[in-house]
Amino acid sequence: MVRQAAPLLLASLPTPSPLRAPFPLPQIDFLLLVSRQGKIRLAKWYATTSPKEKARITREVAALVLARAPKMCNFLEWKERKLVYKRYASLYFVTSIGHDDNELLALEVIHHYVEVLDKYFGDVCELDIIFNFHKAYYILDELLIGGELQETNKRELLRVTAAQDELGKEGDEGVVVRR
């Protein structure tokens, strides 16, 4: 005698929306680029925070990340949040996510941003970020909106950034400098 398995109630399972990812993406509070000396090279905040609080958080987070050994885990419990960071050359890319968010997805967002920067600048380094911070911010703004990943296609990010560069060049040609 063979037993049959109970039928699944497919109607009770949630159906994924075609416009949403099948898994929740992390909500990012901030993204910091910190040099090995502790200098902030780029800071983007997605949560409303006072300037005084931003300065305190920046100091605290930079000190926590810089004090960790290179072989330690890239995830760190911090207050009611998680810090996810990754070191690339002389820069630490640090982000804060919710306690229930997936750390690996946040690490992928950081890696995706670094890959786009690398393709745009051609082997990106800290000096590229320092002297072209407006372009680094522009790429980040195209990648993340409101702390959530918006564009996953690297070619599309690079195409939009190149179009923005062309608009900047056209605007520069129309400027007359008088002395």
pLDDT in tens, 148-176: 999 999 999 999 999 999 988 887 776 55
d(C-alpha 30, C-alpha 110), whole Å:
12
pLDDT digits (tens, 9 = 90+) for 117-134: 999 999 899 999 999 999
Give me the count of residues in the chain: 179
- The per-residue pLDDT for range 21-78, each reduced to its tens digit, is 556 667 899 999 999 999 999 999 999 999 999 999 999 999 999 999 999 999 999 9
* Token code pair at residue 125: 């380094």
**In Å, how far are 21, 58, 97 from 38, measured between CA atoms?**
36, 10, 21
